[in-house]
Amino acid sequence: MTVRAEANGTTYDRDAFRHWIDADGDGCNTRAEVLMDESSSATGRTGTCTITSGSWLSRYDNVRFTDAGSLDIDHMVPLKEAWISGASGWTASRRESFANDLGDARSLIAVSASTNRSKSDQDPDSWLPPATGYRCTYVSDWIAVKYRWGLSVDSAEKAALQDVLAGC
């Protein structure tokens, strides 16, 4: 991966990443697809494919949920982080593909809303999951997603990744 300073984030606009689309035309958007895939039990859903129930483990904080409304779908590499790491130069179509990436289960993950919001757009230099036993997987997944999409890391981010991996 390329190490370089982050681009200026002032031009970032979340709407530049069209997300939660129904890519396969089955009536279920990306959020619903992730919830169905990650549930350890059958999911309940409405006729419009809003997921209402299932059983999920939020790996960031090791908490189990049965109410889909308590979960967020986290972009492993937040959209703003992607933007300042190279996605600002992508086409709208590539940004949409990144925001809805069901091709690699590490890209999108169901987690508790509270941990997703505490993470926000931070990289591992500023935020790591509270579940310390998940941190090695988290940084490995972070690296895999960045590599998959050709995104760069900054020097502080690289150091944080190396620090965590050294303890794995």
pLDDT band with cut points at 50, 70 and 90 for residue 30: very high
The overall pTM is greater than 0.75: yes
Give the Cβ contact number of residue 3 at 10 Å.
11
The count of C-alpha atoms lying within 13 angstroms of the C-alpha of 132, restricted to the half-sphere facing its C-beta, is 1
What is the model's pLDDT at position 128? 99
Write out the two tokens for 160.
């944080």
